[in-house]
Structure 1
Amino acid sequence: MSQPSEDYVKEFNADRITEPARSALIIVDMQYATGHRTGALAQRMAAEGNTITDWRFDRIDALVIPNTQRLIKAMRVVGGKVIYVTIGAALSDCSDAPVHMRAFFQSVGNYEGQRAHQIINELAPEPGDPIVRKTSIGAFASTGLDHLLRSLDREHLFLTGVSTNMCVETTAREAADRGYAVTLVEDACATTHKELHEGTMRNFARFFGKVRSTEDVIDLLS
Structure 2
Amino acid sequence: MPYFFDRVDTVMVPNISKLLHVARMSGVEVVYTVIESLTADGRDASLDYKLSGPLHVPKGHPDAAVLPALKPRVDDIILPKTSCSVFCSTNIAYVLRNLGTRYLIICGQLTNQCVESAVRDAADLGFLVTVPEDACAAKSESDHAAGLHNMKGFARIVSSEALQAELSGQVTIPSKIASNKKCVCYLNVAYDEAYGKHVPEMVLEMFRDAGAEPFELHNCKIAENQFPSSLDSYSGFLIMGSISSAACGAKNEPWLGSLSVFLRKLCQEERPLAGVCFGHQAIARALGGTVVVNPAGTKSGLQTYPLTDAARASLDLPSDQETIQLFCHHADTAVVLPSHAASWGYCTGGHWGMTYGNCLTTQTHPEFSTKSGLGSLRTILENDRRGRKGSVTSLLEPSEEEIDRQIGLLGSQTGYKALAVAFARLFHLLPSLKRSHQGA
Contact 2:119-2:129 within 8 A present in 1 as well: yes
Partner deviation per Cα, 1:67-100 (whole Å, 9 max, x = no partner): 1110001111111111101112121111111233
1:129 aligned residue (76, 96, 101) = 76
In 2: Cα distance, 1:102 partner to 1:84 partner: 22
Pairwise CA distance, 1:155: 1.2
Contact 2:48-2:83 within 8 A present in 1 as well: no
In 2: Cα distance, 1:103 partner to 1:190 partner: 22
2:33 aligned residue (70, 74, 85) = 85
Contact 1:94-1:105 within 8 A present in 2 as well: no
Pairwise CA distance, 1:111: 1.4
2:85 aligned residue (138, 163, 171) = 138
Matched residue type, 2:93: D
1:61 equivalent in alignment to 2:9: yes
5+ residue gaps, structure 1: 1-52
In 2: Cα distance, 1:105 partner to 1:151 partner: 35
After superposition, where does 1:112-191 map in structure 2 within 5 Å?
Answer: 112-191=59-138
Shift in alpha-carbon separation, 1:166–1:71, aligned structure 2, 3 A? same
TM-score (normalised: structure 2)? 0.37
Pairwise CA distance, 1:128: 0.7
After superposition, where does 1:43-62 map in structure 2 within 5 Å?
Answer: 53-62=1-10
Contact 1:98-1:136 within 8 A present in 2 as well: yes
Contact 1:89-1:105 within 8 A present in 2 as well: no
Partner deviation per Cα, 1:18-39 (whole Å, 9 max, x = no partner): xxxxxxxxxxxxxxxxxxxxxx
Contact 1:69-1:123 within 8 A present in 2 as well: yes
Identity %: 33
Pairwise CA distance, 1:106: 5.2
- What's 2:147 paired with? 200
More helix by percentage = 1
In 2: Cα distance, 1:147 partner to 1:212 partner: 27
TM-score (normalised: structure 1)? 0.72
- What's 1:74 paired with? 22
SS in 2 for 1:211: strand
- What's 2:164 paired with? 218
Q: Indicate the structure (1 or 2) with the bigger Cα radius of gyration.
A: 2
Shift in alpha-carbon separation, 1:106–1:92, aligned structure 2, 3 A? farther
Partner deviation per Cα, 1:94-118 (whole Å, 9 max, x = no partner): 11112331355756x6111211111
Pairwise CA distance, 1:221: 1.3
- What's 1:36 paired with? none
SS in 2 for 1:112: coil
RMSD of equivalent CA atoms: 1.4
Contact 1:88-1:105 within 8 A present in 2 as well: no
Matched residue type, 1:62: T
SS in 1 for 2:133: strand
Shift in alpha-carbon separation, 1:83–1:132, aligned structure 2, 3 A? same
5+ residue gaps, structure 2: 169-440
In 1: Cα distance, 2:51 partner to 2:151 partner: 29
Pairwise CA distance, 1:209: 1.4
In 1: Cα distance, 2:70 partner to 2:96 partner: 21
In 2: Cα distance, 1:98 partner to 1:73 partner: 33
Pairwise CA distance, 1:60: 0.6
Residue-pair matches, total: 168
